Amino acid sequence: MKILSCEFNIDAACVELKLADGTMLSIDCTAVENEVADNMYQRSELDWLIYNAPLEYADLILNGDPEKYLKTVTVNKPFEN
């Protein structure tokens, strides 16, 4: 699967990919966050990927294990009084 283009469409809140065979894929980022992110730290990590590395985000969602990735790279630090 050769990707010709990959970008975040802010109006649709989707990462859109165009493949060499003409196929267009659209990943609904809001739906992904609602499904795999358990807290604001995980949502923040996904948001960073969406804006700064949409190709890596698409690869993670389509070929990886986003829940495992988020548990590995994020730390949930509750506020203490």
For every residue of 21-76, DSSP letters joined together read TS-EEEEEHHHHHHHH--SHHHHHHHHHHHHH-HHHHHHHHHHS-HHHHHHHH---
Q: Would you say residue 81 has pLDDT above 80?
A: no
The model's pTM = 0.85
List, for residues 2-16, the tens digit of each pLDDT value.
899 999 999 999 999
At 80, the pLDDT band (50, 70, 90 cuts) reads confident
Token output for 22: 């003409």
List, for residues 35-78, the tens digit of each pLDDT value.
999 888 999 999 999 999 999 999 999 999 999 999 898 876 66
